[in-house]
Amino acid sequence: MKIGCHVSIAQNIWACFERALSVQSEVFQIFTQNQRQWKSVHYSKEDIEKFHELRKQSPYGSEPIVAHASYLINLCADDEQKLIKSREAFVEELKRCDLLGIDYLVIHPGSFGGQSLEWGIEKVAETLNFAMDYFEPQVQILLETTAGQGNNLGFRFEQLQAIREQVKLKEKVAYCVDTCHIFAAGYELENLEGLNRTLTLAKKILTFELIKVWHFNDSMHDRGSRKDRHAAIGEGKIGLAAFEYLVNYKPFDTTPAILEIPGGKEKFAENIELLKNLRK
């Protein structure tokens, strides 16, 4: 796997390259704007050109760049105004990604509120179809697995598969698997026998070819807790053995593995080095 982390775009969108290099990240993930605000950011021609130029000059020119969509976006909001706002923001995310040449856009499917899970699945697919009817992107959309807190969708592989099945432009949609999330949702990772069972399910339901990105996070809570609390690698309930197995798992030999752990820059650098040293 290609090991990396989420990096900040504070001050300048193009500062991500230097920040990724500073922690020896092989690949990286960014937000394309402040993830906690609705107002859409529009980058200047100069900023976009500088982003592309610095990418060419950096070691990341031939590596995929991953973006994560705003946490505010809910693709299956049961409030009409929130859904409209989410759809508008999502289209803006797609446009920004294409202007920047982003390869993958990771997004949480959303929360279905007072509706049924089946309604939520249909609504997410409807929103994806709506967005891509309005603007057909170059960036590939990755539906992310979730921990299943509250009424959040995506805590079973079958749910993500069901969403994609209802999307018209299926080639534009694939998956991101988060280790903390699937562990919290009940999938086995804490021992190699269980991890292999989970990988077998992922291969059967999602297919390995469509898992374009992994999020590497240990879990502060036990398997099946439905609590999304990330821990540094080897410092949580999943443990180091699972990550050692995954970084050496041939089907994902060149797949990005993105860290989203607490602890800041120093912890990112420490965990990136740790994971690199686990590779055989």
> Residue 142's domain is classified under what CATH number?
3.20.20.150
Provide, rounded to the nearest whole percent, the portion of the chain with pLDDT above 90. Answer: 98
Query: Can you give the pLDDT at residue 147?
Result: 98
Residue 36: the pLDDT is 84
Is the pLDDT at 278 greater than 90? The verdict is: yes
Per-residue pLDDT tens over the stretch 98-156 = 999 999 999 999 999 999 999 999 999 999 999 999 999 999 999 999 999 999 999 99
**Residue 240 tokens, joined:** 């180091």
Q: Catalytic: which of 181, 187, 188, 244?
A: 181
Which residue segment(s) compose the domain that 250 sits in?
2-278
pLDDT digits (tens, 9 = 90+) for 217-229: 999 999 999 999 9
Count of structural domains within the chain:
1
The answer to whether residue 42 is catalytic is: no
- Other CB atoms within a 10 A radius of the CB of residue 151 amount to 16
Catalytic residue flag (residue 215)? yes
- Residue 35 has a pLDDT of 86
Quick check: 37 pLDDT over 90?
no
What pLDDT is stored for residue 188 in this prediction? 98
Half-sphere exposure of 160 (CA within 13 A, CB side): 31
Spatial distance between the Cα atoms of 19 and 227, rounded to a whole number of angstroms:
30
Exactly one of 36, 46, 80, 171 is catalytic; name it: 36
